[in-house]
Amino acid sequence: MDRIYITTPLYYVNAEPHLGSAYTMIITDTLARYYKANGWEAFYLTGTDEHGDKIAQAAAQAGVDPKPFTDQMSATFQAAWDSCGFSYDHFIRTTDAYHVRYVQELLTKVYKAGDIYFDRYGGLYCFGCERFYTEKELVDGKCPDHRTVPELIEEENYFFRMSKYQDRLLRHLEEHPDFIRPEGFKNEVVAMLRERIGDLCISRPKSRLTWGIEIPFDQRYVTYVWFDALINYVSALKHRGEEFFEKFWPQAEHFIGKDILKPHGIFWPTMLMAAGLPLYKHLNVHGFWTSEGQKMSKSLGNTVSPLEMKERIGMDAFRYFVLRESVFGQDADFREDALVARYNADLANNLGNLVSRVLAMQNRYFSGAVQPLSGDWRKEDQALKDKFAQAETELHRHMVELQFHRALESVWAAIDHANRYIVQTAPFTLFKDPAQRTRVGEVLHHLLEAIRQISRLLAPFMPDTAKELRRLLELKEGDGDYRALWGECFSPGHKIDGPTVLFPRIELPSEA
């Protein structure tokens, strides 16, 4: 059986969910639904990253101990994702006991194998990033992300012999050119690996930070948050048993944003090598969203909230916009005018009108009862069916390439075609001629089939809309009609529901 293991980054619990985190969720949720609908065995993992300085500081600011703080924030995340309808199979927290145990087990193993050593180290440390920087990485002496001057810290710590695996990782990337994709990000990692990567400091003295997983062989230290968090991808599978791990791990598809390329592209595979575990299958890297051309930030008040979007235009419309407007791997801009334009053109007009027109005619002309198809198909009937078959073939290809915008384009080409088919066949004119009633019944039958196919093709992208279409067509959830061939789903007399407005137009103030 085909299998896929889909993961998102674990979200830091120091901020509310926003478009950046929701974007990875939308992509991965779409893929998980797509593969499950195609009969694959899929495991879809998300969760929260809860240890480290950043979280300890956020808790302190809130005046709460880290544990209750993370409990509450993690629950907020989970509730937000549930309200968005994301279909993850497991939600992991890095404070979960099984995760903590596994991290300690792995640390012990790597330590015993000699790949973790104790050393004195002085370096420039950025508290925001929770890591040491080399002079070369700084911009004007400041952390490139936080624009703050890092502090000189000298202390004794544990180090992971990352450099030992540098050449092996470079070879792996050469032998598996799509290990990290799109290619630009692979090239970035290759460039990093052509320089000295050094070893990785993986502990923090408790004198400085206590909120972390204790180093199992030295109680004076806790584990560096990245060394802890990355391991979730394995601990979540191991939690379900060794067999489960063996089954899914080789099929791991990680999804991340480009800012966390280095930990996932270098720390993680070298950690896996040291632990004697196979590498993940692919690291899939997406770009960043800006809002009206600017970096999203709380102070600018321009962050896009998935829950607010759901409230305003519905989750499916938000999903559609995000997937249709961006190209996987590239940056994208969230613009209000683009959102309204796409919503009105693609959803309210093309899709919404098609559905309401067809259902209205079916009800007006035949009281909702589906009419039989004769064996005698006209050229335009066949062309309509072919267009949907073409959309499906293209969609499969685009999904494999993670080209979500293209996949949606293909479906919309078929939707456009169905609208043109109405103009071409003009059932509203034909109906005036009693001798043409049978043909009108056939035309509408083909159009109902088109709507059924739309529901099928859109299900991974717009699950609620797909469901609503099936409800309007009075189809059951079961597999039978889902897989039925064109023309073999609706038995004559099957009654469909009345028309409805799926996507009410958004009126701009100037139009109102």
Tell me the H-state helices in 63-194. 66-84, 97-112, 166-175, 183-193
Assess 10 for contact with ligand MSP (CB under 6 A): yes
258: amino acid identity, one letter: K
- Long-range contacts of 72-81, Cβ-Cβ distance < 8 Å, separation of 24 or more: 73/13, 73/14, 73/48, 74/13, 74/47, 74/48, 74/50, 76/13, 76/16, 76/17, 77/11, 77/13, 77/17, 77/48, 78/48, 80/16, 80/17, 80/306, 80/307, 81/17, 81/25, 81/46
Residue 41 · residue 330 · CB < 8 Å: no
- Containing 55, the helix (H) or strand (E) segment is helix 53-62
Near ligand MSP by CB under 6 A: residue from 77, 289, 320, 366 = 289
Near ligand MSP by CB under 6 A: residue from 66, 257, 269, 306 = 257
DSSP structure string for 224-293: -HHHHHTTHHHHHHHTT-HHHHHHHGGGEEEEEEGGGHHIIIIIHHHHHHHTT-PPPSEEEEE--EEETT
Assess 271 for contact with ligand MSP (CB under 6 A): no
Near ligand MSP by CB under 6 A: residue from 119, 137, 151, 259 = 259
Closer to ligand MSP by CB, 24 or 104: give it. 24
Burial label, 246 (beta-carbon count in 10 A; 0-12, 13-18, 19+):
exposed
d(CA 226, CA 195): 21
Closer to ligand MSP by CB, 320 or 388: give it. 320
CB of 191 to ligand MSP, least distance (A): 20
Task: Quote the tokens at residue 205.
Answer: 């003295």
In this chain, which stretch among 3-11, 25-33, 120-128, 347-355 interacts with ligand MSP, using CB under 6 A? Answer: 3-11
Sheet holding 200-201, edge to edge: 131-133, 116-126, 151-160, 200-201
Residues numbered 180-239 forming contacts with ligand MSP, rule: CB under 6 A: 229-230, 232
Closer to ligand MSP by CB, 260 or 413: give it. 260
Closer to ligand MSP by CB, 80 or 422: give it. 80
In this chain, which stretch among 167-175, 254-262, 378-386, 499-507 interacts with ligand MSP, using CB under 6 A? Answer: 254-262
Assess 296 for contact with ligand MSP (CB under 6 A): yes
Task: Quote the tokens at residue 196.
Answer: 């000295």
Closer to ligand MSP by CB, 59 or 359: give it. 59
Q: What are the counts of helices (DSSP H) followed by strands (DSSP E) for the chain?
A: 21, 16
CB of 290 to ligand MSP, least distance (A): 7
* Count of residues that bind ligand MSP according to CB under 6 A: 19
Assess 170 for contact with ligand MSP (CB under 6 A): no
Beta bridge partners of 11: 48
Near ligand MSP by CB under 6 A: residue from 4, 5, 6, 11 = 11
CB of 15 to ligand MSP, least distance (A): 7
- Containing 410, the helix (H) or strand (E) segment is helix 404-425
Closer to ligand MSP by CB, 9 or 314: give it. 9
In this chain, which stretch among 63-71, 75-83, 288-296, 312-320 interacts with ligand MSP, using CB under 6 A? Answer: 288-296
Assess 252 for contact with ligand MSP (CB under 6 A): no
User: Which string of x and - marks every residue 15-34 that binds ligand MSP (by CB under 6 A)?
Assistant: -----xx-xx----------
Name the residue number minimizing CB distance to ligand MSP: 257
Residue 353 DSSP code? I
- Residues in contact with ligand MSP by CB under 6 A are 9-12, 20-21, 23-24, 49, 229-230, 232, 256-257, 259-260, 288-289, 296
